[in-house]
Structure 1
Amino acid sequence: MAKQTRETLLKQIFNDYKNYPYGFSRSGDFSIKESQALSKYGQLICALLDGVIEPSNKEDASLLAVALGQQEPTSVAEKAWVRYQRIIEQPKPASIYGSKPASMDDYSVDSAELEAEYDD
């Protein structure tokens, strides 16, 4: 495996198909600039958090500090990352109808009951 650098990570597009199967820009959660920033800087931020690479400049150090919650976000990429983390960490709302869709078996009616209703 080739050693990853900041430049190679910035060329890779960040996607989260689990939480955003149609992409960040189509989700409605992010502005155009934020979705572009997430796509561009997401791989870099993940690599910084995982310790794959070390911060090589002030921008990288700032991205890492914001991602770890040690500093307030100032750039578009930092604000987008904080919003992204907040959204994916929220518990998903449960359905008021239960965990599975209702089937016709749930509404069983005895044929004798139906005949009695229509005979009247």
Structure 2
Amino acid sequence: MATVDREQIIRKPFNDFKNYPYGFARSGDFSIRESDLLLKHGSLALALMNSEIEPESAEEQSLLAVALGQKAAETPLEKAWSKYLARINRPKVGSMYGRSRPNDESFEMSGADDDDLVMED
């Protein structure tokens, strides 16, 4: 398995096609500046969160602390990353029909055996 190079991670643009299939800029959740910051530095933040690389500077340590919820966001990158995490981890919207799907047993009539329908020609 190839080792992950820090420079490759930093150069790689960050995309989250599962949650933002058309990109951050077209989602309406982020400003242009926030979407640019996520695109440029999101791979680094994700690698720090997943412990793929270790933080080397005070800014990276601060970003990791914000991502783990140990500190409030201060820099624009930290604010954009915490906003991204809040957006992807928000609860899913429920259905207007309730939380679960109706099953066939709930639609059975009580006494369906007594009411036989007979059709004659």
State the TM-score bracket (shorter-chain normalisation): 0.7 to 0.9
Q: Would you tell me which structure has more helix in proportion to its own residues?
A: 1
> How far has the Cα of 1:94 moved from its partner?
2.5
2:78 is the counterpart of 1:81: no
Residue type matched to 1:47 in 2? A
TM-score, structure 2 normalization: 0.74
What residue in structure 2 maps to residue 40 of structure 1? 40
Off by >4 Å, runs of 4+ in structure 1: 97-100
What residue in structure 1 maps to residue 116 of structure 2? none
5+ residue gaps, structure 2, are 102-121
2:53 is the counterpart of 1:53: yes
Paired residue secondary structure (2:52): coil
TM-score, structure 1 normalization: 0.75
> How far has the Cα of 1:78 moved from its partner?
0.6
> How far has the Cα of 1:97 moved from its partner?
5.7
**Residues 51-94 of structure 1: CA deviation (Å, up to 9, x unaligned):** 11111111111111110111111111110111111111112212
Residue type matched to 1:18 in 2? K
What residue in structure 2 maps to residue 14 of structure 1? 14
> How far has the Cα of 1:16 moved from its partner?
0.7
5+ residue gaps, structure 1, are 101-120
Identity %: 52
Q: Across the two proteins, how many residue pairs are aligned to each other?
A: 99
